[in-house]
Structure 1
């Protein structure tokens, strides 16, 4: 259970890294680097430890496993979108927004089951940087 929570938190952090890097690259009229994608993929493969106990204790095991799988799929799809040369900017924007919404969905579930608060500063920062709403 703790490993699933760690992977979910790691996946959310990785997704958020890609989203933030995309917006930074876009504002500088640059492409998202392969290094960012590779780093994010590796980050998602290692469970994070901060906040794991709280997340594992407040979210149902089955829901947590489902969320973790969705995050994993979302990250793989997002990485493929940026590795493919025949994807339009509109499609990339759509996938980035889909990833941002996935991040917010996960964080909203954590908040919902944790007395409307996020257990770590890092998760709070992810909430703010992805413009999640209550």
Structure 2
């Protein structure tokens, strides 16, 4: 996979996690929201990752993207198929922590800033 595609997948995975957490926390999580989040991972955004390829080492970018994709897919799977409220809450809390981790990694390698332009 081309490095820009890896970076775009990272951005899409973080976006999916954030969208799901926000919808869940506002009691607006629907099957449609989960489907959109899944589609965003399967067909990553075309923009957003370019700057990441300039500031994050390729190996680290690949690791972050791989982890974020897996975590987003796991969250979607649990929310789609599980009725275990405790598991759901644990997954949402973990997703919030992981979003912060990924954004922190991006900031750490980009002079303390999050990219705002594609």
Aligned length: 116
Q: 1:60 to 1:36 in 2, by over 3 A?
A: same
Q: 1:113 to 1:47 in 2, by over 3 A?
A: same
Instruction: State TM-score, norm by structure 1.
Output: 0.79
- Alpha-carbon contact 2:55-2:110 (below 8 Å) kept: yes
- Aligned with residue 59 of structure 1, among 56, 61, 64: 56
Is 1:17 the counterpart of 2:14? The answer is no
Q: In structure 2, what is the equivalent of residue 97 of structure 1?
A: 93
Is 1:118 the counterpart of 2:90? The answer is no
Runs of 4+ that moved beyond 6 A = none
Q: In structure 2, what is the equivalent of residue 76 of structure 1?
A: 73
Instruction: State TM-score, norm by structure 2.
Output: 0.89
Q: In structure 2, list runs of 5 or more residues that go unmatched.
A: none
1:22 deviates by 0.5
- Alpha-carbon contact 1:15-1:99 (below 8 Å) kept: yes
Distance in 1 between residues matched to 2:50 and 2:83, nearest whole Å:
42
1:47 deviates by 2.7
Distance in 2 between residues matched to 1:12 and 1:118, nearest whole Å:
13
